[in-house]
Amino acid sequence: MQWRKLRLESQAFITVTAATLENRLNSGGGRMKSQFLSVIVLSSSLISSVDAADWPQWRGPRRDGISAETGLLKVWPKDGPKLIWQLHEVGDGYSTPAVVGDRLYLLSNKGVDDEFVQAIAIGDGKQAWSTRIGKVGPNTGPQYPGSRSTPTLDGQLLYALGSDGDLACLETDTGKIRWQKNVRADFGGQPGAWAYSESPLVDGDVVVCTPGGTDATLVALNKKTGDVVWKSAIPDGGQAAYASVIVVKVGGLKQYVQFLQKGLVGVEAESGKLLWRYDKTAEGSPANIPTPVARDKFVYSAAGRSGGGLVELLVNKDSVEAKQIYFTPKLPTSIGGAVEIDGYLYGTNSQGLMCAEFSSGETKWQDRGVGAGAVCFAEGNLYVHGEKGEVALVAATPEAYQEKGRFALPDQPDRGRSQAWAYPIIANGRLYIRDLGSVWCYDIKDSPAK
pLDDT of 141: 86
pLDDT of 51: 56
Segments in the chain below pLDDT 70: 1-52, 449-450
Contact (CB, 8 A) for 268 and 255 = yes
Contact (CB, 8 A) for 262 and 240 = no
pTM of this prediction? Answer: 0.89
> Which amino acid, 315?
V
Neighbours of 34 (CB within 10 A): 11
3-state secondary structure the chain: CHHHHHHHHHHHHHHHHHHHHHHCHHHHHHHHHHHHHHHHHHHHHHHHHHHCCCECCCCCCCCCCEECCCCECCCCCCCCCEEEEEECCCCECCCCCEEECCEEEEEEEECCCEEEEEEEECCCCCEEEEEEEECCCCCCCCCCCCCCCCCEEECCEEEEECCCCEEEEEECCCCCEEEEEEHHHHHCCCCCCCCCCCCCEEECCEEEECCCCCCCCEEEEECCCCCEEEEECCCCCCCCCCCCCEEEEECCEEEEEEEECCEEEEEECCCCCEEEEECHHHCCCCCCCCCCEEECCEEEEEECCCEEEEEEEEEECCEEEEEEEEEECCCCCCCCCEEEECCEEEEEECCEEEEEECCCCCEEEEECCCCCEEEEEECCEEEEEECCCEEEEEECCCCCCCEEEEEECCCCCCCCCCCCCCCCEEECCEEEEEECCEEEEEECECCCCC
pLDDT of 318: 76
- List, in order, residues 6 or more apart from 429 with CB less than 8 Å away: 53, 69, 71, 72, 443, 444, 445
Neighbours of 5 (CB within 10 A): 11
- Measure the CA–CA gap between 345 and 327, rounded to whole angstroms: 14
* Average pLDDT across the chain, whole number: 90
pLDDT tens digits, residue range 143-178?
999 999 999 999 999 999 999 999 999 999 999 999
Q: In sequence order, what are the beta bridge partners of 276? A: 266
pLDDT of 317: 82
